[in-house]
């Protein structure tokens, strides 16, 4: 069951006796767990019928004991096990397996089992598949984040074009909780059902529509020396928001895609988009960049990134500031 269906069921008061939320992406686990915590019980009911414990502090005897209690003056009891990955030998615990075979219907038992998962070959995993909501929270690939941003924007009643989504994704990284917080700030002063633009992003959360990593990539792809240097100069005046290590990492990823483009035999828009992990909308930009940088030059640029990544980490860089490192690196790329 995917997260949208799980959240929809909770909204419609369709509950399951056990939710086992595991995986590498904590955001989706927290989203489900906190939705259950906030919505199933009223504030008055929580005092009697909600228990939140931590995996490192309890064992399965205590958890199943809490789960077997019946609700007081209400229909449901909620038991949430935070940091459930701290439980010892959960895969072998016969008490948990026994409980799963006959869970208390009036209890909603939630496990936040972050950064790990149960071995799918075990008896416990098979029981979870059969009797519980066994949700595995997977990390989003970087190229999936713009679409995820677009979906969150739509759920809030707004629209956002692909370019604007990419600007947000490129500048905010892959921390989904951070992105959600920034989106919350972004929409406060924007009229419902309107389209959110790069200008709105700049005004409300401070990401420049002209001076950001996405525009730097485009300037380098076009070999626009003036624009690239203008952006780097702006980065130099805001080093906290644009650390050299982060900029180098993102430019490395961009030029790696240009390198891969050269070796594609099928260069149709759809295949290029699929192979590079981009939207077809951006394929034309990569065609132009590949025309400007042959494979020999891209190899040189990747070597430059390795050199300046070390300098950004303090290796043989003396007292160079991030702004100097980036300025020197961009000069070598473009000349």
CA distance 146 to 220: 21
CATH number at residue 41: 3.40.50.300
pTM: 0.79
The arithmetic mean of pLDDT across residues 156-168, rounded, is 92
Query: Are residues 264 and 190 both part of a single domain?
Result: no
Q: Write the DSSP string, 51-90.
A: EEEETTT--HHHHHHHHTSPPSSSS-EEEEEETGGGSTTG
Q: Across the strands, what pairs with 79? A: 51, 109
Q: How many structural domains is the chain composed of?
A: 3
| Bigger pLDDT: 237 vs 24 | 24
Give the residue from 205, 223, 254 where a domain finishes: 205
Query: Are residues 327 and 280 both part of a single domain?
Result: yes
Tens of pLDDT, residues 45-100: 999 999 999 999 999 999 999 999 999 988 999 999 999 999 988 988 999 999 99
The arithmetic mean of pLDDT across residues 229-244, rounded, is 89
pLDDT of residue 207: 86
Residue (of 305, 306, 331, 308) closest to 321 by Cα position: 308
pLDDT of residue 59: 93
pLDDT of residue 279: 87
Domain of residue 307 covers: 213-334
Where are the alpha helices (H) located in 110-144, listed in sequence order?
123-131
CA 199 centroid distance within chain: 24
3-state secondary structure of 171: helix
Query: Are residues 89 and 11 both part of a single domain?
Result: yes
CB atoms within 10 A of CB 72: 10
pLDDT of residue 77: 97
Query: Are residues 292 and 222 both part of a single domain?
Result: yes
Query: Are residues 311 and 289 both part of a single domain?
Result: yes
Residue (of 200, 220, 199) closest to 210 by Cα position: 199
pLDDT of residue 70: 94
* Percentage of the chain exceeding pLDDT 70: 99
Rounded to the nearest 10°, the torsion over CA 233, 237, 241, 246 is: 40
The arithmetic mean of pLDDT across residues 291-311, rounded, is 95
Contact 205, 182 (CB under 8 A): yes
Give the residue from 118, 137, 156 where a domain finishes: 137
Give the residue from 137, 153, 186 where a domain finishes: 137
Query: Are residues 228 and 318 both part of a single domain?
Result: yes
Query: Are residues 12 and 104 both part of a single domain?
Result: yes
Query: Are residues 192 and 226 both part of a single domain?
Result: no
Query: Are residues 131 and 11 both part of a single domain?
Result: yes
CA distance 105 to 67: 10
Rounded to the nearest 10°, the torsion over CA 257, 262, 268, 271 is: -40
CA 203 centroid distance within chain: 24
Query: Are residues 114 and 199 both part of a single domain?
Result: no
The arithmetic mean of pLDDT across residues 238-259, rounded, is 92
| DSSP assignment letter at 139 | P
Torsion over CA: 81, 87, 90, 93 (sign): negative
Query: Are residues 8 and 133 both part of a single domain?
Result: yes
Question: Phi, psi at residue 60, to the nearest 5°?
Answer: -70, -25
* Percentage of the chain exceeding pLDDT 90: 79
Contact 63, 53 (CB under 8 A): yes
CA distance 87 to 93: 10
CA distance 88 to 86: 6
Query: Are residues 10 and 124 both part of a single domain?
Result: yes
């Amino acid at each position: 069951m995917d997260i949208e269906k799980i959240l929809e069921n909770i909204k419609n008061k369709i509950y399951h006796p056990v939710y086992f939320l595991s995986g590498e992406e904590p955001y989706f686990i927290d989203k489900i767990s906190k939705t259950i915590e906030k919505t199933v019980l009223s504030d008055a009911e929580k005092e009697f019928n909600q228990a939140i414990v931590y995996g490192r502090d309890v064992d399965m005897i205590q958890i199943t004991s809490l789960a077997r209690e019946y609700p007081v003056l209400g229909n449901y009891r909620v038991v949430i096990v935070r940091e459930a990955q701290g439980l010892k030998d959960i895969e072998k615990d016969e008490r948990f397996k026994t409980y799963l075979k006959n869970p208390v219907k009036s209890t909603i038992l939630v496990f936040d089992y972050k950064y790990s998962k149960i071995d799918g070959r075990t008896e416990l995993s098979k029981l979870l598949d059969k009797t519980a909501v066994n949700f595995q929270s997977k990390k989003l690939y970087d190229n999936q984040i713009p679409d995820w941003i677009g979906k969150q924007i739509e759920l809030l009643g707004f629209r956002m074009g692909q370019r604007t989504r990419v600007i947000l994704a490129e500048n905010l990284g892959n921390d989904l909780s951070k992105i959600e917080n920034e989106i919350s700030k972004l929409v406060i002063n924007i009229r419902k059902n309107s389209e959110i633009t790069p200008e709105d992003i700049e005004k409300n959360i401070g990401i420049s529509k002209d001076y950001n990593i996405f525009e730097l990539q485009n300037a380098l792809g076009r070999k626009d020396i003036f624009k690239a240097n203008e952006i780097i100069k702006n980065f130099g005046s805001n080093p906290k928001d644009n650390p050299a290590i982060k900029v180098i990492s993102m430019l490395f990823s961009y030029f790696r895609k240009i390198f891969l483009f050269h070796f594609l035999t099928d260069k149709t828009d759809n295949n290029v988009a699929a192979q590079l992990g981009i939207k077809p909308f951006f394929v034309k930009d990569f065609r132009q960049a590949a025309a400007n940088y042959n494979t020999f030059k891209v190899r040189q640029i990747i070597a430059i990134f390795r050199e300046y990544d070390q300098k950004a980490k303090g290796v043989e860089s003396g007292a160079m500031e991030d702004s100097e490192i980036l300025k020197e690196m961009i000069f070598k790329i473009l000349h």
